[in-house]
Amino acid sequence: MLYRIINKKIISKVFDLNIFSKKENMSTLQKQKLSYENGFSLIELIVVMAIFTIITSVVIFNYGKFSSNLVVTNLAYEGALAIRQAQVYGISVKQTKASQSSPNKNFNAAYGVSFASNDLQRFYLFADGVFEDNWRDINSAEDEETFTMNGSNVIKYFCVTYSDGATKICSGSGLTNLSIIFKRPEPNAKIFGFSSPSALIDGGGTEKTFSKAEIMFTSGRGDKIARITVTNTGQISVDSCNAPGKTCPEQTSY
């Protein structure tokens, strides 16, 4: 009787050990299976890397264009600020640089910004106090500050609108120089166009002025054209004239 009881206990323990061993083996297999399921296959890795490469290539390819367009916009704002600065100088009291070393101090000069079709990487803030002829002296005697653009950034062209509000003339088609001048006490802009540095074009307004000026900036690397618009009322604005819903003026006389 005792022998049978001992045998049953031994068999029971062996059976329990077998069950535990099977459970442990099953648990190990399940863990291995889960570890396989949580990983990536070679095909999945290749697809992910391909997508990442394509996105990176697109970003790198368009970065230069985006950066160039941003620079063009900043240049247009710099030009607008130069015109605004001339307006502030023109309606306030500021001595000209040219008269600082002269016994005859000049605090009553008009101030303006000058653009030239043969110098499209620069524009000039000047004081019209030496000759008072509504245009920048070509010998730089009236210059207050020179703004220079680097690389492929240029003034693409500029246009003026006659006093009738419809007819325009642009650089490259009869207009060579543009002066936007302010003189106190009026904040209004006097817009003058020239067919040569000193040959004034009659814009139809008082003192032969034009009603509006538009200056277009661009870069060889980008397709954006940033425009400064100045009206004879003294309003100055910046926009992208080739953006959807807008139109850049044609570089022709019409």
pTM over 0.85: no
Residues 27 and 147 in one domain: no
- Between 9 and 156, name the one with better pLDDT: 156
pLDDT at 163: 92
CATH number, domain of 80, equals: 3.55.40
Residue 83 lies in a domain: yes
- Give me the residues paired with residue 210 across strands: 191
Residues 15 and 78 in one domain: no
Residues 97 and 207 in one domain: yes
Residues 220 and 131 in one domain: yes
Residues 182 and 113 in one domain: yes
Residue 55 lies in a domain: no
Residues 195 and 131 in one domain: yes
Domain boundaries, position 11: 1-32
Q: What is the pLDDT of residues 242-252, one digit of tens each?
A: 767 677 777 65
- Between 185 and 40, name the one with better pLDDT: 185
pLDDT at 135: 82
Own/partner long-range contacts of 126-130 (Cβ < 8 Å, ≥24 apart):
127/89, 127/96, 127/97, 127/98, 128/181, 128/183, 129/96, 129/98, 129/99, 130/96, 130/98
Q: What is the pLDDT of residues 95-151, one digit of tens each?
A: 887 766 566 677 888 999 999 999 999 999 999 876 677 888 777 778 899 999 887
Residues 16 and 74 in one domain: no
Residue 197 lies in a domain: yes
31 band by pLDDT with thresholds 50, 70 and 90:
low
- Between 137 and 222, name the one with better pLDDT: 137
Q: Mean of the pLDDT values across residues 154-167?
A: 92
Residue 58 lies in a domain: no
pLDDT at 4: 52
pLDDT at 205: 86
At residue 176, does pLDDT exceed 80?
A: yes
pLDDT at 248: 79
pLDDT at 223: 74
Residue 179 lies in a domain: yes
